Amino acid sequence: MSALKNDRYLRALLRQPVDMTPIWMMRQAGRYLSEYKATRAEAGDFMSLCRNQELACEVTLQPLRRYALDAAILFSDILTIPDAMGLGLSFGAGEGPKFAKPIENQRDVTNLPIPDPEQELQYVMNAVRTIYNALDGSVPLIGFSGSPWTLATYMVEGGSSKAFTKIKKMLYAEPHLLHQLLDKLADSVVLYLNAQIKAGAQAVMVFDTWGGVLAHRDYRDFSLQYMHKIVDGLIRDYRGRRVPVTLFTKGGGLWLEAMAATGCDALGLDWTVDLAQARARVGHKVALQGNIDPSVLYADQARIEQEVQQTLQDFGAGSGHVFNLGHGIHQDVSPDSPKYLVDAVHRFSQHYHATEK
């Protein structure tokens, strides 16, 4: 195994001293980059891109060639697990994901297999191995998965949703059925993330994109409980290094204490959260990732820099902050804007770490 040349991201997640605040961007590989669109066209479509380890590696590295990012994230999708369970995933042009066989009843849940990561999902592990080798220790590689609740929303709704009527109906009318589904998903995610770690992922992140649509009590029972099960099942040390785990519930600002109590290493924050308050609440337990509004990247350089300064000041001095957007980058931002962002984070953050080195 090669030694890491830049381990700022891993160190910040463990709240160890760093020379400057690390940064990566959610969805950093994507359509705002012309080279991404060219590679996707070469692959044919999005899932073919995910299934081609060489091209998945290529698009993973594209943002790192443009910007001084402190981490790479596996190019794949959270919906690979339901696809491997046999639900028949497709992405219609400009439409978002669709499942041919959504989950409707007890029989569907009973018949769901738990995918073997080195069989049905081997293409993901091959991508991890290829990217890990190509990075050659330059920066760490982040592996990821969806949370059980977020995966279940797509599986029950049959695709993206605004109102979540089908899964909420299941939640209140057939809660036992939903719990069975979530439990199978949690087991699948544990196997999947542990396989990514063995294949080369040096940190993992769980995307709970839709946890924020749950009622207060329901969040604990239907989302957090299963993320807790995942944290408990993950490999936490591998090849002599801690493998940090980050939980990100979009809209989860009210539940930070409960999330931190799962034993995860870090929490991802969306842009509705005050970073200073979040640090006061849970900063003694976990690192924090985030959290500028992705729309800030529509602004000019001066405004982007102002937002960076403010965010760094909100967190304050010391380690434990990984700079990021509060959600994925928009596909129509100028590819110049992330450069202003990344460079500003590195430049302005140094004095917040001056006493540490």
In the complex, the residues that contact ligand CP3 under the rule CB under 6 A are: 26-31, 40, 46, 73, 75, 77-79, 96-97, 144, 160, 207, 209, 328
Task: Give catalytic residues, as residue numbers.
Answer: 27, 31, 40, 77, 154
User: Cβ 121 to ligand CP3, closest distance in Å?
Assistant: 15
Q: Least separation, in Å, of the C-beta of 352 and ligand CP3? A: 26
The 3-state secondary structure of the chain, one letter per residue:
CCCCCCCHHHHHHCCCCCCCCCECCCCCCCCCCHHHHHHHHHHCCHHHHHHCHHHHHHHHHHHHHHCCCCCEECCCCCCHHHHHHHHCEEEECCCEEEECCCCCCHHHHHHCCCCCCCCCCHHHHHHHHHHHHHHCCCCCEEEEEECHHHHHHHHHHCECCCCCHHHHHHHHHCHHHHHHHHHHHHHHHHHHHHHHHHHCCCEEEEEECCHHHCCHHHHHHHHHHHHHHHHHHCCCEECCEECCEEEEECCCHHHHHHHHCCCCCEEECCCCCCHHHHHHHHCCCCEEEEEECHHHHHCCHHHHHHHHHHHHHHHCCCCCEEEEECCCCCCCCCCCHHHHHHHHHHHHHHHHHCCCC
Report which residue's Cβ sits closest to ligand CP3. 209
Annotated binding site for substrate: 27-31, 77, 154, 209, 327
Residues contributing to the annotated binding site? 27-31, 77, 154, 209, 327
Find the shortest distance in angstroms from Cβ 252 to ligand CP3: 12
- Closer residue to ligand CP3 in complex, CB, 154/340: 154
- Pick the closer one to ligand CP3 by CB: 71 or 288: 71
CB closer to ligand CP3 out of 259 and 283:
259
CB closer to ligand CP3, 32 vs 352: 32
- Residue 41 CB, shortest distance to ligand CP3, in Å, is 10
